[in-house]
Structures are given as C-alpha cells and as structure tokens.
Amino acid sequence: AAEGDRRITEIQDWNRYLGAGVDAAPYGLPSKFEKDVVRRDVAWLTADATSSVNFTPLHALDGIITPNGLCFERHHGGVAEIPPEDHRLMINGLVDRPMVFTMEDLHRFPRENRVYFLECAANSGMEWRGAQLNGCQYTHGMVHCVMYTGTPLKNLLNEAGLRSSGKWLLAEGADASAMTRSIPIEKALDDCLVAWKMNGEALRPEQGYPVRLVVPGWEGNMWVKWLRRLEVGDAPWEQREETSKYTDLLADGKARKFTFQMEVKSVITAPSPQAPVTHGKGRTVITGLAWSGNGTIRRVDVSLDGGRNWHAARIDPQSFSKAVHRFYYDFDWDGSELLLQSRAMDEKGFVQPTKEALRKARGANSIYHNNGIQTWHLKTDGALENVEVS
C-alpha cells in the first residue's frame, strides 16, 4: 500500500491507556461492538409479546452451543417468575407413591450432562408456502442447543413407583399458560431429563427457571418449562396444544396428530441475508447447522447452483446425538451469482426434502415440521436474499 495502515503505524488508545479493572461487570456481558447480535422478534407475527416468540441470531453464531442469552424464547403466557424455594414438582396418577419434590430434593438425584437441540415445531412455519422472511434468524431461529444438567426423568418416576398400567405422562407448567402435553411413557423412560442448569449456569427465566423438561429430538412444545406436575395415565389427554395446535392439516382435510419427532434439517447460517459477503470474490467460508431428532448427522452436502450439483461439507467433529452439528464448506468464490443450499442426511438415512417434495406430501396448509431445503440467492455484490427454486 502507498500509505501505511495507521492501525499499525500509530499507537491506538487501547494500547496507550489502562482498561477497565476486574469487577467492571460482575456478570460478564458481550463486547459493545456485538450489540446487534440479539434475539429479535417479527412484529406482525403475534398480537402481543406475552404469547409470542423471538429468534436465535444463528447468522452471527458459530460452533454448536447457543449462548444462554441468545436462546430463542417461546412462551404462551409470559415468563413466570418463581422463587426456587417456592417451586414444587408433583407426581401423581398411576404411581404407588404420589410425591412432591422441592428443588433441593431434585438436586439430590444423580445428575447427568447432555447436549441437545430444542426446535419449536413451528420453526420455518412461515416459509411453508414460499420464501418469506429475509434472514436465517427468522426462517430457522426457533432452535437452540445447550448442555443441560439434570436428572433422568425415569429416576423420579421410579422413586414414585411407576405402575405397569402407566402408558402416558402428562407434563404441566407452572406459568400462566399452564402448558400441558402428553408424552408416551417409553420416551419418558428413555432419554428425557428434568433439568435445572443450561451451559453450567441456572436455567434462564425465559427457559423455565427453576426447572424444565428436556425431551430430546422431539418438538419444543413438549419441553415444558417451569415444570410443576407429572401425571401418569393410561391414555393421552388430548390437550389443546396436541389437538387444535401442533397438528398438521393435510390436503385431504385430515390432520396428523402426535408428530413428536423433529426430522432431519439443515440451514446455511453464513453467508445469509443478515450476514452478507463483504470481502468480495476469492476465499469464502460457507457454514451452517444440521440436526435430526433421529440422532446424529451422517452427511451434509452444499450446492452452489440451486441443487443441480452437490459437494460434501465438512462436519465439525465436536458433535452429539440429537444436538446441532456444525458444518463448513470452504471454496473459492468467482464473484458470480449463486444459489446456496444445504442438504442433511441423518444416521438413519433420512434425507432433507426439497420444499416442493414436502408440499407434495403434506399439502399447503401446514405450519409445523417444515424441514425443507432452504435457498439463499447470493448476488454479485455479496448481498443475499431468501428465495425458492423449482
């Protein structure tokens, strides 16, 4: 360069003066230069903020762990504020010994740590009929992935003396919406957790402090927050959130019910509409997330031409079953227009469908369980737009 770079040739303020001392932020906060990396909502989506949703800023994150303060929030009756010493978890129904646990009681059960994704069944729901929202935060941001600490749900059920006639479990929240869902007992005894920590610290209020249910691989709605009651029964309860909501209306007028499992899915998080290419052509990193309720991700392919040709992406080895996987595709961008897509395959061999194939199978009326392939149109100036190709 003709002129020297003054960041090199001149001493900068941060080099010349002392910085803030320890304890300037007893509970640390992100750099002020990251102030745009926040959860965001879509104003027209819901009538008010207490029964609403905001979205994880996926475009700005990397790795597989979502920072606690950026985990999307979905609540139907606002955030309950519960003093932990006043919280109770009751088990009743088809058990030999109905029980009430305090938080202190729960903390004395054997603990486990597990990393899982939570995806709302409505994630990508607004995209069902066509491309709509410009940014993966909005199209795919109803997912987060953290390490939970808690006790396996089966420990509590065994303590209460689960009867063999018990086939279903009702989980109920202590919030104003009293979120209530039926869960098959096999799932409850398999890998569900009653969790009170996320990423090592107490659950955030938005995520169900002091305790929530973790239902790995299954739709977020079943992960009851502020968990106050578990009832064992012999049939599902047919609650509002499993009949009128969280069902999928098909083209023939019938609705799919109890579609618990989250299917294989992926999205390119950067570049994407909120994370444009600012460096021009040349060396370019494509990155994204892939996940499946079936377990691990076996492979992710990336297309630069709207699905005509596919290239194997690199899956970062730091990955867990029923957690998000981080993938990368490094390439040399020639500066021309591209149609970026990612397509994941899970350990059971399920492959993410095109949106067209999904609509063919399920009709145009669905909201929930959209795992279709996402397309970003990369333009010559590096800007991107949410589009659909056929």
| Chain residues in the site for Co ion (CB under 5 A) | 74, 120, 220-221
- Does 224 interact with ligand MTE (rule: CB under 6 A)? yes
Residue 152 or 217 having the CB closest to Co ion: 217
Distance, in Å, from the CA atom of 313 to the CA atom of 326, rounded to the nearest integer, reads 10
Residues touching ligand MTE: how many (CB under 6 A)? 21
Hey, CA dihedral for 62, 115, 247, 177, is it positive or negative? negative
Distance, in Å, from the CA atom of 268 to the CA atom of 276, rounded to the nearest integer, reads 12
Local structure of residue 354 (DSSP, 8 states): P
> Which of Co ion, ligand MTE, none does residue 232 bind to, with CB < 5 to 8 Å depending on kind?
none
Which residues does 1 contact at the CB level (< 8 Å), separation at least 6? Answer: none
- Does 223 interact with ligand MTE (rule: CB under 6 A)? yes
> Which of ligand MTE, Co ion, none does residue 224 bind to, with CB < 5 to 8 Å depending on kind?
ligand MTE
| 8 A C-beta contact, residue 88 and residue 106 | no
Residue 72 or 138 having the CB closest to ligand MTE: 72
Hey, CA dihedral for 378, 383, 386, 387, is it positive or negative? negative
Bond into 210 cis (ω within 30): yes
Beta bridge partners of 249: 255
Residue 187 or 298 having the CB closest to ligand MTE: 187
Q: How far is the CB of 354 from Co ion (least distance, A)?
A: 24
Closest CA to 100 of 231, 236, 237: 231
Binding segment for ligand MTE among 161-169, 175-183, 258-266, 268-276 (CB under 6 A)? 175-183
Binding segment for ligand MTE among 220-228, 270-278, 286-294, 380-388 (CB under 6 A)? 220-228
Residue from 135, 150, 220, 293 binding ligand MTE (CB under 6 A): 220
Distances in whole angstroms, Cα of residue 223 to Cα of each of 131, 169, 181, 192, 383 = 28, 13, 9, 9, 37
Residue from 58, 115, 118, 268 binding ligand MTE (CB under 6 A): 118
Q: How far is the CB of 27 from ligand MTE (least distance, A)?
A: 20
Residue from 75, 229, 355, 359 binding ligand MTE (CB under 6 A): 75
- Does 179 interact with ligand MTE (rule: CB under 6 A)? yes
- Does 229 interact with ligand MTE (rule: CB under 6 A)? no
Binding segment for ligand MTE among 223-231, 319-327, 356-364, 377-385 (CB under 6 A)? 223-231
Run of H or E including 14: helix 13-16
Residue 143 or 267 having the CB closest to ligand MTE: 143
> Which of Co ion, ligand MTE, none does residue 173 bind to, with CB < 5 to 8 Å depending on kind?
ligand MTE
Q: How far is the CB of 338 from ligand MTE (least distance, A)?
A: 32
Q: How far is the CB of 92 from ligand MTE (least distance, A)?
A: 18
Run of H or E including 138: helix 136-140
Residue 120 or 160 having the CB closest to Co ion: 120
* Region class of 295: left (phi > 0), else alpha (psi between -120 and 50), else beta: left
> Which residue sits closest to ligand MTE, CB atoms considered?
173
Which residues does 237 contact at the CB level (< 8 Å), separation at least 6? Answer: 168, 170, 180, 182
Residue from 66, 124, 207, 284 binding ligand MTE (CB under 6 A): 207
Dmax of the chain from CA atoms? 83
Closest CA to 180 of 245, 103, 122: 245
Distance, in Å, from the CA atom of 66 to the CA atom of 70, rounded to the nearest integer, reads 7
Distances in whole angstroms, Cα of residue 371 to Cα of each of 78, 115, 318, 319, 366 = 28, 21, 23, 20, 12
Q: How far is the CB of 4 from ligand MTE (least distance, A)?
A: 49
- Does 221 interact with ligand MTE (rule: CB under 6 A)? yes
Write out the residues near ligand MTE by the rule CB under 6 A. 71-76, 118, 120, 144, 173, 175, 177, 179, 206-207, 220-221, 223-226
